[in-house]
């Protein structure tokens, strides 16, 4: 791994479907790391359960304060999941400061672009986690 992720508080290590949601620290700043890498987002119920966990992490923080690093490298996003993604983004939007997404090319990028357009939830795309983390703390 080319970058270091340091856990700082509670974690859903291993997550519902092998995903992982946890707080990390980068240069002294807290970031919510959502690991969708190496996992197919194929089971909608498992994804709903993971989104519920993510929502708890996000809504426990002050409005406009949460920096999110969403890692989609080597993962898949099914189009059947679009409604769940839109609902999740809408329900947490008031607590989000910035979202950086890594590994979003092709159909994954198209799906996430649709979520952004439908919810107004800002999201910036990066090729690598280091650049994404640096942008999040600026």
pLDDT tens sequence across 73-123:
887 777 778 888 999 999 999 999 999 999 999 988 999 999 999 999 989
Nearest to 47, CA basis, from 21, 74, 9? 21
User: H/E element holding 98?
Assistant: strand 96-102
Cα–Cα distance measured from residue 59 to residue 32, given in angstroms and rounded to the nearest whole number? 12
Instruction: Say which DSSP state 27 is in.
Output: T
Please report the pLDDT score of residue 89 as a whole number: 95
What superfamily does domain 6-137 belong to in CATH? STAS domain (3.30.750.24)
* In the predicted structure, residue 3 carries a pLDDT above the cut 60: no
Between 30 and 12, where is the model more confident? 30
Question: What is the end-to-end Cα distance of the chain in Å, rounded?
Answer: 23
Where along the chain do its domains lie?
Answer: 6-137
pTM for the full model? Answer: 0.83
Q: What is the mean pLDDT of the chain?
A: 84
């Amino acid at each position: 791994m080319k970058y270091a992720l340091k856990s700082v508080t509670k974690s859903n290590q291993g997550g519902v479907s092998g995903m992982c949601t946890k707080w990390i620290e980068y240069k002294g700043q807290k970031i919510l790391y959502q690991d969708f890498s190496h996992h197919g987002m194929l089971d909608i119920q498992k994804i709903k359960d993971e989104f519920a966990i993510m929502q708890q992490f996000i809504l426990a923080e002050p409005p406009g304060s949460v920096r999110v690093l969403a890692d989609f490298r080597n993962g898949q996003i099914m189009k059947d999941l679009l409604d769940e993604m839109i609902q999740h983004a809408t329900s947490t939007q008031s607590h989000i400061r910035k979202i950086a997404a890594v590994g979003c090319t092709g159909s994954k990028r198209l799906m996430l672009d649709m979520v952004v357009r439908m919810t107004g939830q800002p999201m910036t795309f990066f090729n690598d986690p280091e650049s994404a983390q640096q942008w999040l703390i600026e």
